[in-house]
Structure 1
Amino acid sequence: MCGRYVTVSKVKAVEKRFNAEVLAPEKWTFNTNVGPGSNAPVITNHNPESVQRFQFGFTPHWSKKPMYVFNARSEGDFNSDNNPNYRGAKGIIHKPMFQNSIRDKRCLVLADAFVEGPEVEKLNKPYLVYLRERRPFAFAGVWDEWVNTETGEILRSFAILTTVANSLMQKIGHHRSPVILEPDAELDWLSRDLPLSEVTSLLEPYDAALMNAYPINKAIKNPRSQGLELLKPVGQRVFTEYDYEIYDELKLEGMGETRARQRKRQQEDPPSGQQSLF
């Protein structure tokens, strides 16, 4: 399940990419270990022109207490064995937890990469997963608004939708994939007029040929851990690449370092051994 991900893009990059204004940009921070309970950037179908910060970990409006459900299965109760070839009904539309939100409260969950591990070892053997040529990107999400009846506090929270594992997730040994939207499907996902059949048609695994992953240190499993070192590769990429160093790009974003400054630093301190991959 997708329970950890990365957000390090700068405000201007996010605003340009999604054509939306970041609210309270002075509070914008990068996060190398977004997990349940974290506040993270989303764009909702109720306010598609703004980037807001909601809690990762979904609580339906009817709940008596916060629930922190971070993933929503597209198949609902179907495909219990997580068959990667499943192409049947999207049972999420019948799940009490999500049946209202999938119809009327959808959101884009903004990310630069995500963390996944094998089904057995989980985050004891984590991989950083990224898109080869697109960053930031958007997961398909659902959200809701819950009111604490004792305090009147309003909690806006979200979950990431998951679907069957693509070939990259299968190579990692994981049984699910988060739903990653193509850029031309993002506005559809946010449309409040999109027929439900077209909404569910978007809940498909992303093309593995456009993705890659590499192993990182298991320190990422600690939800309080932060820092760019968490994203440093400790092994080779799943699919061989020769011309893309994604770790260095994320490091630039997180440190606010210009490319000119990076070149100067590299000249003063030339790299040795294994190259950075992300």
Structure 2
Amino acid sequence: MPGRLAVYDDKTFKIDVKDLIKNDMIGELNPRYNIAPTIPIPALLNNGNYLYAHFGYLPSWAKNKKSMNINARSESIFEKMTFRDSFKSRRCIIPINGFYEWEVEDKEKTPFFVRDMKNDYMALAGIWDEWFDIELNMKIVTVALITCDANEKLGKIHHRMPIVLDKKDFSTWLYSQKIKEVNELFKIYPSEKLDLYEVTNEVNKVLFDEASCIEKIKKEPVGQLALF
């Protein structure tokens, strides 16, 4: 369940969805390397708007932010009242350059960055809704990522991962009214397509947002100790 994201380059994504974007409300992307829930993330809605949305889904009827969900399980999304209507008619694509997961061992948490092995972005399946924010005195778009079981590579450190869409399936995900057809897109992304490596512990700090977040940790090889 990715709770931290990196979104710093959407150029290729915009090229791939140029026929699906009707209204680009983002323009030039603001690079972010350590995005936590409640921070805006880019999303292409199925109404053609490409905009910043609140990372954390709130159904329109939610009374407050205590009802927020950052993830929705693919296995039960159609059964949950919270997500059902959005799954039917308010789906979106969330382009990210990667996400973080933590390996927990002896109460010590080690961050890893997960990205596509070949492509410079991953298109995540998401749902959206509009929620009235009393503090802002306006409606905001809120989104959640849809998750499934992790593949073998990622499963070594976490049991869940986001649904990653293939480019050929973008239109189906956004516009299909056939629930069975949409459900068929809920596939586990293959291990061989993911790159996974350890990164700096600075990622643990929510306010740390530097390009160094996604740099691979270079560990010095352990050599033999000299006798003299």
Alignment of 1:217 onto 2:200:
yes
The 1:59–1:52 alpha-carbon spacing in structure 2 relative to 1, beyond 3 Å, is: same
Q: Report the equivalent of 2:151.
A: 166
The 1:201–1:149 alpha-carbon spacing in structure 2 relative to 1, beyond 3 Å, is: same
The 1:123–1:17 alpha-carbon spacing in structure 2 relative to 1, beyond 3 Å, is: farther
The 1:65–1:207 alpha-carbon spacing in structure 2 relative to 1, beyond 3 Å, is: same
The 1:24–1:147 alpha-carbon spacing in structure 2 relative to 1, beyond 3 Å, is: same
Tell me by how many angstroms 1:124 deviates: 2.2
Amino acid at match of 2:91: R
The 1:122–1:228 alpha-carbon spacing in structure 2 relative to 1, beyond 3 Å, is: farther
Q: Please show how residues 135-150 of structure 1 align to structure 2 within 5 Å.
A: 135-148=120-133
CA contact (8 A) 2:59 2:131 kept: yes
The separation in 1 between residues aligned to 2:108 and 2:163, in whole angstroms, is 20
Alignment of 1:128 onto 2:113:
yes
Percent sequence identity over aligned pairs: 25
Contiguous gaps of at least 5 residues in structure 1: 76-90, 237-272
Q: Report the equivalent of 1:226.
A: 209
Tell me by how many angstroms 1:115 deviates: 0.8
Tell me by how many angstroms 1:46 deviates: 1.6
The separation in 1 between residues aligned to 2:218 and 2:174, in whole angstroms, is 38
Task: Pick one of 18, 22, 25 that aligns with 2:24.
Answer: 22
Alignment of 1:189 onto 2:173:
yes
Q: Please show how residues 1-278 of structure 1 align to structure 2 within 5 Å.
A: 1-9=1-9, 12-19=11-18, 20=21, 22-25=24-27, 28-47=29-48, 50-66=49-65, 67-75=67-75, 91-118=76-103, 124-148=109-133, 152-171=137-156, 173-191=157-175, 193-235=176-218
User: Which 10-residue stretch deviates more, 161-170 or 111-120?
Assistant: 111-120
TM-score, scaled relative to structure 2: 0.87
Q: Secondary structure at the match of 1:140?
A: strand
The separation in 2 between residues aligned to 1:202 and 1:99, in whole angstroms, is 17
The separation in 2 between residues aligned to 1:170 and 1:31, in whole angstroms, is 26
The separation in 2 between residues aligned to 1:8 and 1:151, in whole angstroms, is 26
Amino acid at match of 1:225: F
Amino acid at match of 2:207: R
C-alpha RMSD of the superposition: 2.3
CA contact (8 A) 1:15 1:22 kept: no
The 1:223–1:150 alpha-carbon spacing in structure 2 relative to 1, beyond 3 Å, is: closer
Tell me by how many angstroms 1:24 deviates: 4.1
Contiguous gaps of at least 5 residues in structure 2: 222-228
In terms of fraction of residues, the more helix-rich structure is 1
Amino acid at match of 2:159: H
CA contact (8 A) 1:110 1:137 kept: yes
User: Which 10-residue stretch deviates more, 50-59 or 120-129?
Assistant: 120-129
TM-score, scaled relative to structure 1: 0.72
User: Which 10-residue stretch deviates more, 98-107 or 16-25?
Assistant: 16-25
The separation in 2 between residues aligned to 1:30 and 1:52, in whole angstroms, is 14
CA contact (8 A) 2:34 2:208 kept: yes
What count of residue pairs does the alignment treat as equivalent?
217
Tell me by how many angstroms 1:142 deviates: 0.6
Tell me by how many angstroms 1:137 deviates: 2.3
